[in-house]
Structure 1
Amino acid sequence: MQVYFIGAGPGDPELITVKGQKIIKKADVIIYAGSLVNPDVLNVAQDGAEIHNSASMTLEEVLEIIESAVAEDKLVARVHTGDPSLYGAIQEQIDALVEKGIDFKIIPGVSSFLATAASLKREYTLPDVSQTMIVTRLEGRTSVPDKEKLHKLAQHNASMAIFLSVHMIEDVVKELAVEYPADTPIAVVQKASWPDEKKVIGTLETIAAKVKKAEIDKTAMIVVGDFLDTEYSRSKLYDKDFSHEYRTSKTGSQ
């Protein structure tokens, strides 16, 4: 195998997977999404590795480098931020490589919405609160299907992670407020897991002003839902009165 798509994680260079880091260590050619990937992730690259920042490149230029490297029997690491399956523009690269007959593998990574939960010390899926996680974005230069408009997704009152939208925080709040109560908790975490991480917590009524005051306008995750601050039921997984395959109930009830 000569081509690997790698999820570099949310920012902390220690949050890349072991498998992903092994490929970067031995790659001959590295193409990384420089606008988002922490360059420290590449500190393990071997001396002499050819490194390209794709932030200013077109799809065709990226593919040309990959194709040329494969022709020279070189190992290629295509490094994306977080996990490449989320807003990574990876499918068009995959389809092009398939068309060219170039084999590849994908190594998943830790998404920023997961690093955000870790930073906030919260669980998205609390019993009797929400068992559904919605990952989405507000419509911007990239359109969103009508059935996925934010106010329609908000009808579920599920836990929600909103990518690529903090610069439009007022519009996000307006959409969410169609369905969520005004006192619904919401948090914004900029550069989760980076040394200069910044976070603000509020409600739909207060968050826009707090975001502006904190001067957060990019590279941030918005998360909303009662999971941030509410009562919840204990999990059945560790409930002494609940039996399952690995444990018998202490009281005999099911």
Structure 2
Amino acid sequence: MNKIAIVGAGPGSADLLTLRALNRLQNAEVLIWTDSLISPEIAELTSKTCEKFATSSLTLEEILALLISKAQQGKRVVRLHDGDPCLYGAISEQIYALAEEGIDVEIIPGISAYQATASELKKELTIPGIVQTIVLSRSGGRTGIPEAEKLENLAKIGASLCLYLSARHVEDVQKTLLTYYPKDTPVAIGYRVTWKDQWLKIVPLNQMAAASRDKGLFRTTLYIISPALKSHDKRSKLYSDEHKHLFRKK
């Protein structure tokens, strides 16, 4: 059976690729990549003989036609997605259509923007006694959101809330969040995190929209709303001398 590698490119920097992702890129005979969201330096990791097809102007049907055609020719095909393909990657419809043609896929994960943002800030998003849950979501926008997952319901939890694809609606997002989070809750705003033109800033929740407007943000932007972004002296019990576990007796 023919197989296509759906590869996560990570947040932007080429040195954040996994070893498996790098291997598939270096051995690819055909690269079909999301050029509007992925750094060109990652696409350049392929061989000089690799055929490259940018997809920013293509429809799903056109992309699928390319994938199917090249796979049926016996080519080693890589479908390169930004971030992690299993998160807002629109891969389920691709997998389904390829399966109908007898083409299998392998999925290679990539580092997501929320992970890269927390790392760049040198912050942990799960602090004992403060917050232990991370929620990944987005504002409704044109494609909508299931009723149970509306921002109001997610905000009630008070978790570390990571919002993708929401910069166009940031005023509405801020207004909703202020109902559930204190106005001084830190918000990390990350634009093209780990790219050469990265912009990253922490602002109070009540300045979230203004900071976004001032920077002119409308795409490739992530928001992390979390009390964990404040300075804390809380510590985990894991390394406490009072904590017994399998490898250390109390």
- The TM-score, its normalising length taken from structure 2, stands at 0.96
Q: CA RMSD in A?
A: 1.2
Matching residue of 1:87? 88
Matching residue of 1:223? 224
Q: Does 1:245 align with 2:246?
A: yes
SS in 1 for 2:56: helix
Q: Does 1:2 align with 2:3?
A: yes
SS in 2 for 1:237: coil
On the 8 A contact 1:126/1:232 being kept in 2, the answer is no
The superposition leaves residues 161-202 of structure 1 with CA deviations (integer Å, 9 ceiling, x where unpaired) of: 000111221111011112112121111010111111101211
Distance 1:202 1:112 in 2: 18
SS in 1 for 2:154: helix
On the 8 A contact 1:128/1:232 being kept in 2, the answer is no
Matching residue of 1:48? 49
Deviation, 1:227, is: 0.4
User: One-letter code of the match for 2:230?
Assistant: D
Matching residue of 1:209? 210
Distance 1:243 1:127 in 2: 17
What are the equivalent positions in structure 2 for 1:124-163 lying under 5 Å apart?
124-163=125-164
Distance 1:179 1:230 in 2: 21
Query: Where has structure 1 moved over 6 Å in runs of 4 or more?
Result: none
Matching residue of 2:110? 109
SS in 2 for 1:24: helix
What are the equivalent positions in structure 2 for 1:9-88 lying under 5 Å apart?
9-88=10-89
On the 8 A contact 1:112/1:221 being kept in 2, the answer is yes
Matching residue of 1:168? 169
On the 8 A contact 1:2/1:74 being kept in 2, the answer is no
Distance 2:233 2:146 in 1: 33
The superposition leaves residues 197-226 of structure 1 with CA deviations (integer Å, 9 ceiling, x where unpaired) of: 101211121222222223333211100010
Distance 2:200 2:94 in 1: 33
Structure 1 residue runs without a partner (length 5+): 250-254
SS in 2 for 1:147: helix
- The TM-score, its normalising length taken from structure 1, stands at 0.94
User: One-letter code of the match for 1:113?
Assistant: Y
How many residues align structurally?
A: 249
Matching residue of 1:235? 236
Deviation, 1:34, is: 1.1
SS in 1 for 2:69: helix
On the 8 A contact 1:200/1:211 being kept in 2, the answer is no
Structure 2 residue runs without a partner (length 5+): none
96-105 or 207-216: bigger deviation: 207-216
- Percent of aligned positions that are identical: 39
On the 8 A contact 1:30/1:76 being kept in 2, the answer is yes
User: One-letter code of the match for 2:53?
Assistant: H
